[in-house]
Amino acid sequence: MTSSLALTCETLTLHLRHTFTISRGSEDVAETVLLRLRADGVDALGESAPISRYDEDALQVTQMLQRLMLGGRDLFCFDDVLDLLPAGAFGARCALDLALHDLAGKRLGIPLYRLLGLDPARAAETSFTIGIADPQKTIEKTKEARHLPILKVKIGAGNDVETIEAIRSVYGGRVRLDANEAWTPEVAVSTLKALARFDIEFCEQPIAAGQPEGLRFVKERSPIPIFVDEDSKSLADLARLYGCVDGINIKLVKCGGIREAVRMIHAARALDMKIMIGCMIESSVLATAAAHLTPLVDYADIDGPLLITDDPFVGVRYDGARMRLPDAPGLGVVPRPPT
């Protein structure tokens, strides 16, 4: 049981290195919610990067967290505590779930990967995201990232073949695509057929979410494997995707945190789906939590901290694309020392 307890939220305004454009729009700054939970003298951190695609924002997540009454609760009973929030409040649940895991790890004196029974040597390599731009800018950004082995390229702006051709003119590494729901099933098939010659690992979310039969149509005709992201929000979405996709992208803030992500990973394995774990524009708090789960997955796309200029925290470290998990207790995230 917990005797002394304090919960506070603050908004983090994170600035992007490059304007970040996907098929739905552009952004230069992103707002996330940092949760600080102090229980019996132990300080824990959580973070949420609310997703406008799912009608969530920083204010709403903050208000939900601030209304929580945690006094007298056993904070090791993760599910009971998380269920104080509505089942559909994925963004708020994510911040709380991370703070509970951070707190538990710190109380036990072990890093999160150990709390989860995972081998840090199996942490995945992350891809690095290239947003939508004109071919000249795309070539510049690709050259900046040329030392990295895996790129995830945002497409769906109409010049997709030209974009990938530009990238392939300067880059020989692994390339994944993300269309962010841009195409109809027919356009997806014809575009993916045209892109197959560029040696593409897979394409994420080719069509608007909510059409499993459309995905099946694309998967059966596409020479490039099909993953979903907007369609694989939480555990409840997976059964209907069975046979319609080759893999799913799991994000902690989309599904409600570490606990739900682990459930999704095991369900996806049972449904014969490949698994990627991804991120939003977010600080090292949320990205490090996701990195701790990568020993369980096939692919990682956890480049949030690499895309911003003012990450207030240090956690997972990047050795090129290889992620090094922190060994400190809990998430292992600390404030960035002043430079």
Q: How far is the CB of 30 from Mg ion (least distance, A)?
A: 15
Cβ proximity to Mg ion: between 229 and 282 the closer is 229
The reply to whether 181 sits near Mg ion by the rule CB under 5 A is no
The reply to whether 282 sits near Mg ion by the rule CB under 5 A is no
- From the CB of residue 6, how many other CB atoms can be counted at a distance below 10 Å? 10
User: How far is the C-alpha of 336 from the C-alpha of 150, rounded, in Å?
Assistant: 27
Cβ proximity to Mg ion: between 125 and 204 the closer is 204
Q: How far is the CB of 22 from Mg ion (least distance, A)?
A: 8
Q: How far is the CB of 227 from Mg ion (least distance, A)?
A: 8
Of 178, 181, 231, 303, the one binding Mg ion by CB under 5 A:
178
Cβ proximity to Mg ion: between 97 and 229 the closer is 229
By CB under 5 A, which span of 70-78, 168-176, 200-208, 265-273 interacts with Mg ion?
A: 200-208
Phi, psi of 124 (to 5 degrees): -80, 165
Task: Tell me which DSSP letter residue 10 carries.
Answer: E
The reply to whether 56 sits near Mg ion by the rule CB under 5 A is no
The reply to whether 102 sits near Mg ion by the rule CB under 5 A is no
CB 40 within 8 A of CB 6: no
Q: Mask: binding to Mg ion, 202-241, rule CB under 5 A, as x and -?
A: --x------------------------x------------
Report which of 227, 157, 228, 156 is spatially closest to residue 188, judged by C-alpha positions: 156
Cβ proximity to Mg ion: between 22 and 104 the closer is 22
Strand pairing category for 200-204 and 322-324: unpaired
Could you tell me which residues come within 8 angstroms of residue 172 by beta carbon, excluding any fewer than 6 positions away? none
User: How far is the C-alpha of 247 from the C-alpha of 215, rounded, in Å?
Assistant: 11
User: Which residue reads 């990205």 in tokens?
Assistant: 287
Site residues (vs Mg ion, CB under 5 A): 178, 204, 229
